[in-house]
């Protein structure tokens, strides 16, 4: 049973001695496969967007956590959603920095990240709306809801950019 054609590259061709491999210069932002971390992702637009999302979620969580609550269920839901979103964004950030997606090819990482942003953004929008409606002009709760809305906007931008990249990749490969 054949599992498909495989190409095996060797350094020797049938026409004569092997030519030395071409020397390529990798840019310092992309890094090579031998490096442990991808230093270019720190400075990329997607990397900085993830950091901004994590900061706004953390500020929203801390603002709500240090305020006097008027409705326990609304703000506990807000805290759970912000922390879950923060942990998942941190997970994908670390996955990109340490290039885990190259080692675990059994998972469709762009699809997993897109679905995370889709579900997380909807839950974060709902939690921010509920938190804003139950804030009763308490400054900490208003600030938490505001940072929740900011994180929602940043998540929508990330989701749109990942979908845009997926569409461009699919249309050019055909």
The reply to whether 7 falls in a domain is: no
Burial per residue of 107-122, b for 16 or more beta-carbon CB atoms within 10 angstroms, e otherwise:
eeeeeebbebbeebbe
Give the span between the Cα atoms of 123 and 62, in whole angstroms: 18
CA atoms within 13 A on the CB side of 132: 12
pLDDT tens for the chain, residues 1 to 174: 445 555 544 444 444 455 555 544 444 444 455 677 888 888 899 999 999 999 999 999 999 999 987 778 889 999 999 999 999 999 999 999 998 888 888 989 888 999 999 999 999 999 999 999 998 889 999 999 999 999 999 999 998 887 776 566 555 555
Q: Tell me how many domains the chain contains.
A: 1
The reply to whether 14 falls in a domain is: no
The reply to whether 141 falls in a domain is: yes
CA atoms within 13 A on the CB side of 31: 16
The reply to whether 151 falls in a domain is: yes
Q: What is the DSSP string of 41-93?
A: HHHSHHHHHHHHHHHHHHHHHHHHHTS--S-HHHHHHHHHHHHHHHHHHHHHH
The reply to whether 37 falls in a domain is: no
The reply to whether 61 falls in a domain is: yes
The reply to whether 12 falls in a domain is: no
Give the span between the Cα atoms of 170 and 173, in whole angstroms: 5
Q: What SS3 class is residue 16? A: strand
What pLDDT sits at residue 23?
Answer: 47
The reply to whether 2 falls in a domain is: no
Range of the domain at 90: 48-172
Q: What SS3 class is residue 13? A: strand
What pLDDT sits at residue 28?
Answer: 46
């Amino acid at each position: 049973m054949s599992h498909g054609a495989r190409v095996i590259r060797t350094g020797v061709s049938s026409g004569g001695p092997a030519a030395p491999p071409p020397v390529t210069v990798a840019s310092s932002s992309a890094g090579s496969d031998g490096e442990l971390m991808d230093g270019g992702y720190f400075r990329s637009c997607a990397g900085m967007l993830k950091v901004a999302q994590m900061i706004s979620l953390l500020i929203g969580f801390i603002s709500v956590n240090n305020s006097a609550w008027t409705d326990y269920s609304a703000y506990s839901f807000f805290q759970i959603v912000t922390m879950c979103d923060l942990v998942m964004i941190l997970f994908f950030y670390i996955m990109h920095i340490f290039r885990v997606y190259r080692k675990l090819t059994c998972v469709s990482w762009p699809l997993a990240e897109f679905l995370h942003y889709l579900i997380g953004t909807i839950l974060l929008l709902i939690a921010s709306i509920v938190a804003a409606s139950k804030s009763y002009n308490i400054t900490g709760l208003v600030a938490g809801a505001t940072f929740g809305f900011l994180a929602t906007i940043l998540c929508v931008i990330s989701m749109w950019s990942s979908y845009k990249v997926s569409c461009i990749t699919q249309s050019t490969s055909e």
